[in-house]
Amino acid sequence: MEKISVRPATGKLGVLCVGLGAVTSTFITGVLMARKGLAKPVGSMTQYDKIRVGKGVKKQYKHYGEIVPLADLKNIVFGAWDVFPANAYESAINCEVLKEKDINPVKDELEQIVPMKAAFDHNYANRLDGNNVKDCKTRWDMVLQIREDIKSFKEKNNCDRIVVIWAASTEIYVPVNEEVHGSLKALENAMKSNDTKNVAPSMCYAYAALTEGAPFIMGAPNTTVDIPAMWELAEITKMPIAGKDFKTGQTLVKSGFAPIIGTRCLGLSGWFSTNILGNRDGLVLDEPANFHTKEVSKLSTLESILVPEDQPDLYTDYYHKVRINYYPPRNDNKEGWDNIDIFGWMGYPMQIKINFLCRDSILAAPLLLDLVLLSDLAARAGRFGIQRFLSFFLKSPMHDYTENEVPINHLFQQYVILKNAIREMGGYEADEEID
């Protein structure tokens, strides 16, 4: 097989995070601690997972970094935007995800990460009231200011490359509007005419990143890059895009457990999922308009794993409900309950209960690292547009719905796609198939 030409990961990689809250401060602190040898990046596929390459006598199991040229953790420089002016150290302390003893060894470095003013519209997250916000006349002005931020950060920190990742709150739901989101020209016109209804602030970040030659990753369920206009821009700029919504707790369980039901040919009557969460994300999601964006993302998982058309006896008319409840005492320690009503031989009912007491940011931090490193890799390998091989890390995988493409939500099928992409970029044969 002809080896894909992948540019080496030379120089510094700038990682610009939209949002410097619990997830981002945990991510940055963990990377800084790991590169000092003071913590382990547990949960990161790029740092721990091994993939088989070759077959028979040529079979080997290698870390991702032994197969493809990944950026070294020592070469990452962090920056952020946030509506609150607290630096990364203050944010890490305030969020109370990590213990002070696990933050203090990198205090000096964290204090240097001071967030730039955020491009923010209060109507898109009305539970947030920060004052570290840009004054933007129009959405186009917003784009230009973000582009300037990216340029100046890259220059100031002598970065070879930049990746932009959204780790901020979920915006209110923006339905796809063909007249605005259907083409790049229409989207640009909407930005210039300040169409605040159809153009979310996150779209301005994505547009700015792509036009500045930076891959963009959407870590919330926002519509942002899941529109034809952004696909067009990604093709023009030859930049990778990925999204949407970090697959952390409950959906990770769902995408891994639903295949058990399907593989065993058991029936499903209903799946009820509820969460309690007390961090800033929980506060924002307590607003119904913001929760609806998340609900669409979380509900999409089962539909492509347990498909009624494939097994009408087993999966017709099952009831699927998702709830998120804001509960401040838990802070970042999220609790997810799943009640699954299944049926077996002769239609007899059974139940499965799953209670996942997880730490949202602890599960999300390694996802940010993997998505950043693999998006940077994809850009250097000349891959652009939707990066389907990153679906493994995301709740609601991007797909071309205009062509009726069905997203793959099955965790183990997603893993096959991820491994094959790494193999291909490393010059090996993509030798696993999805049945």
**Crossing angle of helices 184-192 and 228-237, rounded to 10°:** 100
Same-domain status, 182 and 68:
yes
CA-closest candidate to residue 126, choices 190, 169, 81, 95: 169
Residue 426 has pLDDT above 70, yes or no: yes
Q: Please report whether residue 431 resides in a domain.
A: no
| Rounded-to-integer distance, Cα 306 and Cα 136, Å | 46
CB 294 within 8 A of CB 172: no
Return the SS3 of 419.
helix
239 and 140 housed in the same domain = yes
CATH of the domain at 347: 3.30.360.10
pLDDT at res. 435: 80
Position 224 in a domain? yes
- Between 124-128, 160-164, 388-392, the lowest mean confidence (pLDDT) is in 124-128
Hey, what are 312's tokens? 């009408």
Write the single-letter amino acid at 357.
L
Please say which residue of 313, 339, 359 terminates a domain.
Answer: 359
User: Angle CA(353)–CA(243)–CA(307) in degrees, nearest 5?
Assistant: 50
CATH number of the domain residue 395 falls in: 3.40.50.720
Decide if 139 contacts 195 (C-beta within 8 A). Answer: yes
Say yes or no: 137 and 241 in one domain. Answer: yes
Tell whether 40 and 158 lie within a shared domain: yes
CA distance 211 to 188: 12
pLDDT at 291 over 90: no
What is the Cα–Cα distance from 360 to 257, expressed in whole angstroms? 19
Nearby residues of 49 by Cβ (< 8 Å), 6 or more positions away = 63, 64
- Helix or strand (DSSP H, E) at 296: helix 288-303
Q: What is the pLDDT of residue 209?
A: 98
Cis peptide before 395 (omega within 30 of 0): no
In angstroms, the CA 215 to CA 378 distance is 9
Q: Are residues 240 and 309 in the same domain?
A: no
Q: Are 282 and 327 in contact (CB under 8 A)?
A: yes
Residues 328, 369 share a domain: no
Pair 375, 31: CB distance under 8 Å: no
pLDDT per residue as tens digits for the range 226-284 = 999 999 999 999 999 999 999 998 889 999 999 999 999 999 999 999 999 888 777 88
Q: Is the domain of 333 the same as that of 401? A: no
d(CA 21, CA 92) in angstroms, rounded, equals 8
Show the CA angle centred on residue 187, arms to residues 184 and 190, nearest 5°: 150
Examine the fold and report which residue of 359, 378, 411 is the final residue of a domain before the chain moves on: 359
Average pLDDT, the chain: 95
Percent of the chain with pLDDT over 90: 87
User: What's the domain count of the chain?
Assistant: 2
Residue 433 falls within a domain, yes or no? no
- In one-letter notation, the amino acid at residue 165 is I
Helix axes 228-237, 201-211, angle to 10 degrees: 20
- Please give the single-letter amino acid code of residue 192: K
Expressed as residue numbers, the domain containing 305 is 250-359
pLDDT, tens digit (0-9, with 9 covering 90-100), for 389-417: 999 999 999 999 999 998 999 999 999 99
